[in-house]
Structure 1
Amino acid sequence: MTKSMTAFASGEAEIGALTINCELRSVNHRYLDISIKLPERLRFAEADIRSAITAKISRGKIECTLTFKKLAKDSPSLFVNREAVAALLAAAQQIEAQMTGPLSFSALDVLAFPGIQQEPELDKETLNRGIAELVGQTLLKLLEVREREGRQLQSLIRDRCKKMQLHAAAARKRIPEVLQAIRNKLKDRIAELVAQPDFDRLEQELVFLAQKLDIDEELDRLETHITEVLRVIEQGEPVGRRLDFLMQEMNREANTLGSKSADKEITKISIELKVLIEQIREQIQNIE
């Protein structure tokens, strides 16, 4: 199944005394680029989160953000670092001893001092299991969105490939008419200029001209590439890079088709083919 690289998913879970929110954003990128944003207290989970994402996604710029808030029902009123308070008071006494007039300060002033209020210790094992489950569930949601977007891209690519097949068939059908028109035009022109034209020589020149203007090979390769694109988009593995390469090859054939063209209808077909190829190329930029 073709997968898009553009998606968003979020999830939330209560783990211990915390409510943790996970957001995953995915956009197109040439390679796999993972950015993980965590609060300092959850930094221990970064390696496992990165491994979980790498196991499921092979291409795209992925941003994973975790935030948390304390559960009100489980939050204790206050944790005080008693050792820090003792050290602060001892330092204050030493300073006051050197002052002519000691300055008083309240308990609230003490609490506002850095390091006095202390966060409770987290159960890292419980948190790590909970975070792994939360990230895993959010990742599944992200993959569902990527697959859903991928199906839409697949449909758009398939439709444009079918249009290219119709244009290629029209160009192939047009070739005998173009060659016959050139033959008639040259015969009429030579007949006007020469009393006894050498039609054998004329046929040789027409054969040479037909070889020069022959676009069968380009059409064959173009149709082969289109068939390959239709096959590739049905595969379950990442196909974005292969599709991008095929677009380069198809564009080359469409350009050669236009340069060889001796007919305005085939020239128009070449332009239409290049427009369709460019439309597919834009869609492929979002495919994993």
Structure 2
Amino acid sequence: MALSSMTGFARSHGTSGPYAFEWELKSVNAKGFDLRLRLPPGWDEIEQIARKRAADVLSRGTVYANLNVKRADALSTVRVNEQVLASIVKVAGQLAGRIDAVAPSIDGLLAIKGVIEVVEPESNEDEDKAAKAAVVAAFDEALAALAEMRRREGTALGQILSQRMDEIETLARKAEAAPGRKPEAIRARLAEQIAALLETSDRFDADRLNQESLLIAAKADIREELDRIASHVSQAREMLGKGGAVGRRLDFLAQEFNREVNTCCSKANDLELTNTGLAMKNVVEQFREQVQNLE
């Protein structure tokens, strides 16, 4: 399976009978999957269909789906409610002899609520049914285009992540070959420190110091961390090769990378090794940031 990012954009449009419609889909990063639909009034029944189809195609990301629908013959007509108007005129005539007032004007009568009615065009059940089926088909088209764009971006992300794995592996080999972590180099540094301490006092036990030096040397060894980093690199490459929705697992692996690199930095007792560890930490952070975009 191919890798997919969580970001993308797609549009689709079509017509059916008197209806013209357009879908606009946009997806962004998220921990889970969430489809946020905006549908015009009267089109709510396609919501469940759209949610199911989107969930079948996508597993992560927040997707914003907007549907715009226009009806070609959707010109509303205006009519006068004759019964309401007649009642108002009758009441006005009754009041005319009782109070001194100006006779009602036409615009005044028409401004009274209920006199003028806006009549929407009648809908056709068969046309509406066909239009909703066409809208669902257009949603599938836009969804497929969105998924394809996410796969293209996922392929590019996969190449970047593979490069980061190469960089981590190169830095790990550099750390392993660092002269400062060789046993003889560690012994030489400890010997210098012990000699400096012995010069300041004659109360140090040489045997105890030797034991402590061995313990310090063991704690300073990063062999175990380098082995785990190599294992993580292998797992990451395997996940990238298989593809699919591996974003969560790679994110967890990025945390493990960071933990091992931090330990290497804390154990480093040599400037070159410290600089290598910091460079590796920077690459791990770049890897983690890119992983956040993967499905």
| Normalised TM-score (structure 2) | 0.83
Q: How many Å separate the matches in 2 of 1:148 and 1:113?
A: 59
**1:57 shift after superposition:** 0.7
Are positions 1:160 and 2:170 aligned together? no
1:96·1:103 contact (CA, 8 Å) conserved in 2? no
1:178·1:262 contact (CA, 8 Å) conserved in 2? no
In structure 2, stretches of 5+ residues that fail to align are: 97-102
Residue 207 of structure 1 corresponds to which residue in structure 2? 214
Residue 25 of structure 2 corresponds to which residue in structure 1? 24
Residue 36 of structure 1 corresponds to which residue in structure 2? 37
C-alpha spacing 1:38/1:113, structure 2 compared with 1 (3 Å): farther
Equivalent of residue 119 in structure 2, options 109, 114, 117: 117
Q: How many Å separate the matches in 2 of 1:120 and 1:222?
A: 69
SS at 1:116 equivalent: strand
Q: How many Å separate the matches in 2 of 1:216 and 1:180?
A: 15
What are the Cα deviations for residues 208-245 of structure 1, in whole angstroms up to 9, with x where unaligned? 22211111111111111111111112224211111111
Residue 98 of structure 1 corresponds to which residue in structure 2? 91
C-alpha spacing 1:177/1:240, structure 2 compared with 1 (3 Å): closer
The more displaced of 259-268 and 179-188 is 179-188
1:49·1:135 contact (CA, 8 Å) conserved in 2? yes
Q: How many Å separate the matches in 2 of 1:114 and 1:286?
A: 56
In structure 1, stretches of 5+ residues that fail to align are: none
What are the Cα deviations for residues 86-111 of structure 1, in whole angstroms up to 9, with x where unaligned? 7x3211221222223343259x989x
Q: Counterparts in 2 of 1:35-184, with a 5 A limit?
A: 35-71=36-72, 75=73, 80=77, 85=79, 88-99=81-92, 100=96, 101-104=103-106, 116-122=118-124, 123-174=127-178, 178-184=182-188
C-alpha spacing 1:185/1:103, structure 2 compared with 1 (3 Å): closer
Return the letter of the residue paired with 2:30. Answer: H
C-alpha spacing 1:57/1:113, structure 2 compared with 1 (3 Å): farther
2:8·2:27 contact (CA, 8 Å) conserved in 1? yes
Return the letter of the residue paired with 1:103. Answer: S
CA RMSD of aligned residues (A): 3.0
What are the Cα deviations for residues 32-83 of structure 1, in whole angstroms up to 9, with x where unaligned? 1111111113222222111111111111000111112234xxx37x5658xx
Residue 272 of structure 2 corresponds to which residue in structure 1? 265
Are positions 1:283 and 2:290 aligned together? yes
The more displaced of 186-195 and 263-272 is 186-195
**1:115 shift after superposition:** 5.2
Q: How many Å separate the matches in 2 of 1:103 and 1:26?
A: 57
Residue 255 of structure 2 corresponds to which residue in structure 1? 248
